[in-house]
Structure 1
Amino acid sequence: MRRSRRVASHGGVNHERWVISYADFVTLLFAFFVVMFATANADKGKARAVAEAVKAALDPKANPHSREIIKELLKKDKRITPETAKQTVAELTPSLNVLQKNLKDEIQRGEIELHLEPRGLTVSFKQAALFDSGNADIKESASTALAKVADAILKLPNQIRLEGHTDNVPIHNGKFRNNWELSSERSIAVLQFLTEKFEVPVRRLAVSGYADVAPVASNDTEEGRTRNRRVDVVILSTLASKWEPDKN
């Protein structure tokens, strides 16, 4: 299990040194997202052409949205080929359909979003569905939705990523020093819930905390900030699992 948490040091050391490391980290992270954005938007004509190439192989009756899904997969990740995009859709569409049905009420209330992405199926829990503001203790009311997700996870052999995210508003309470800690602790809380309540094997899980560096909406509006405060449960495709660091 990987935990994206900062470990504080104590003793006679220079506590200002972390500022340099943090600045380097933010710079590298910014560069990473610039590269990802550039590659995701490059050669759109090729992406469209490849998407057309797999149209004939798709069964619109089985999944009427599969063409659009594959087109998006090809745009977002250059490691995705027509064949692997087809495999991702075929592999995870059954789970997507089951979760859409089982989480219908939560989706209608705006508590959960489902996305089929290049790396797999993402179940995105809004903060309000799992936690009180500024807190990392899972609410009792979240048990039902988490149980449905755990059931889907246990029916698959796939690796799972648990990713905590916040908006860009600094946290001000005595529990967490910053949004990095809050987002990490929330993903860890979901991991503990899944392993302790539903016996999801811990070796299949990895946790990360991203604070506000991976928003899905603008932080300039309350609606956008609400969408950004989330924990994503990502059921990785078989291919994406191979991209993960070896846990052995």
Structure 2
Amino acid sequence: MADEGLRPIIVKRVNKGGGGHHGGAWKIAYADFVTAMMAFFLLMWLMGSTAKGDLQGIAEYFKTPLKVAMSGGSGAGDSSSVVQGGGKDLTRKDGQVKKGDDPEIKKTYNLQAAHLQQAEKELEKAEAARLRGLKAKIEEAIESRPALKQFKKQLLIDITTEGLRIQIVDEQNRPMFALAKAELQPYTRDILVEIGRALNDVPNRVSLSGHTDATPYASGEKGYSNWELSADRANASRRALIAGGMDEAKVLRVVGLSSAVLFDKQDPFNPINRRISIIVMNKKTEESASKDGGTVEVSSETQARQELAGAAAR
């Protein structure tokens, strides 16, 4: 029993070698490190090659991304395109350079010219309304006065491109003037006096022209002809308009056209071709008439011959 108490206790220790398997955790750590270094060097390269304006745009985007996306700006790219910005020139400091060779089309607007055109249109509308009102007033005066209403068929009133045109035409048995003369019939004078009163209601200038039919004057072209007769009749009408109260300064032009401008081109001898035409001119026609030579007035047969002789000499 004593021997059993002295028996030695043996402890076995196992020492493992250092060359055993350690697993793959180090590989994952190394891959993360390499990826981080690549990202770092890529960031440094981008910062070195990006223009200052683009860097400011990128910084602005990260500060207020919604504002830049909505309104665009330096570094925000072309807001009208799905593919943003870009360009060939990386040395630019501000904004982007459009890729492509198409020239940029710039639209310019002349606001002053636009305002002038609008003002001219408004003036034309106002003038047209004024002339329509004058037309209605003259027609009303003719309808309200029995002495004038009976000559309604001889009064032709219409709106033309030149303005308001009032034509007083002959009828077979009711001429405006004495036969082959520039003497107004009493009823023609009444009509012209009434028209003269109405014309002062508008600021527009007036043009008068006398017309005859194609029947030659008795003395022929060598003496007093339809040219002189038409001019004298136009001037006699001018005097009747002024007697009615029309301001003399309103008359811009008085001309005799003989049978050069027929009313009835199919029948040059129709009495309707004998007429007086009064045009209340619009602004455009007035300016054109002023440039073409102004007023031509003849008050007598002698002056008519002198005017024609002077025109032939020129």
Give the secondary-structure state (helix, strand or coil) at the position aligned to 2:130: helix
| Aligned residue in 1 for 2:241 | 194
Q: Is the 8 A contact 1:134 1:173 kept in 2?
A: no
Is 1:234 aligned with 2:279? yes
- Give the residue type in structure 2 aligned to 1:143: R
Q: One-letter code of the match for 1:218?
A: K
**Equivalent residues of 1:131, 1:137 under 8 A apart:** yes
Mapped pair 1:150 → 2:196: yes
Partners of 1:159 and 1:243 lie apart in 2 by: 12
Which of 174, 178, 181 is 1:132 aligned to? 178
Q: Deviations over 1:37-96 (max 9, x none)?
A: xxxxxxxxxxxxxxxxxxxxxxxxxxxxxxxxxxxxxxxxxxxx9877645532310001
Is the Cα contact below 8 Å between 1:164 and 1:184 reproduced in 2? Answer: yes
- Normalized per residue, the structure richer in helix is 1
Q: Rg bigger for which structure? A: 2
Q: Name the structure 1 match of 2:135.
A: 96
Instruction: Give the Cα–Cα distance (whole angstroms) in 2 for the partners of residues 144 and 108 of structure 1.
Output: 11
1:100 maps to amino acid = E
Q: Does 2:198 align with 1:159? A: no
Residue 158 of structure 1 deviates from its aligned partner by 1.0
1:227 and 1:82 mapped to 2: Cα distance? 36
CA RMSD of aligned residues (A): 2.8
Counterpart position of 2:157: 114
Please report the TM-score for the alignment, with normalisation by the length of structure 2: 0.47
Tell me if structure 2 keeps the 8 A contact 1:168–1:219.
no
AA partner of residue 207 (structure 1): V
- In 1, Cα distance between equivalents of 2:236 and 2:281: 20
Q: Is the 8 A contact 2:193 2:240 kept in 1?
A: no
**Residues 217, 86 of structure 1: alpha-carbon distance in 2 compared, 3 angstrom cutoff:** farther
In structure 1, distance between residues paired with 2:151 and 2:168: 13
- Over 3 Å counting, the alpha-carbon distance change for 1:100 and 1:109 in structure 2 is closer
Q: For the structure 1 residues 122 and 106, does the alpha-carbon distance in structure 2 shift closer, same or farther, using more than 3 Å as the test?
A: farther
Retained in 2: the 8 A contact 1:162–1:231?
Answer: yes
Question: In 1, are the aligned partners of 2:216 and 2:226 still within 8 Å (CA)?
Answer: yes
1:199: how far off? 4.2
Secondary structure in structure 2 of the residue aligned to 1:200: coil
Higher relative contact order (CA 8 A, sep 6+): 1
Q: 1 CA distance for matches of 2:149 and 2:206?
A: 21
Q: How many residues align?
A: 164
Partner amino acid, structure 2, of 1:116: I
C-alpha distance in 1 between matches for 2:232 and 2:149: 23
Unaligned runs of 5+ in 1: 1-80
Give distance in 1, aligned partners of 2:259 and 2:122: 34
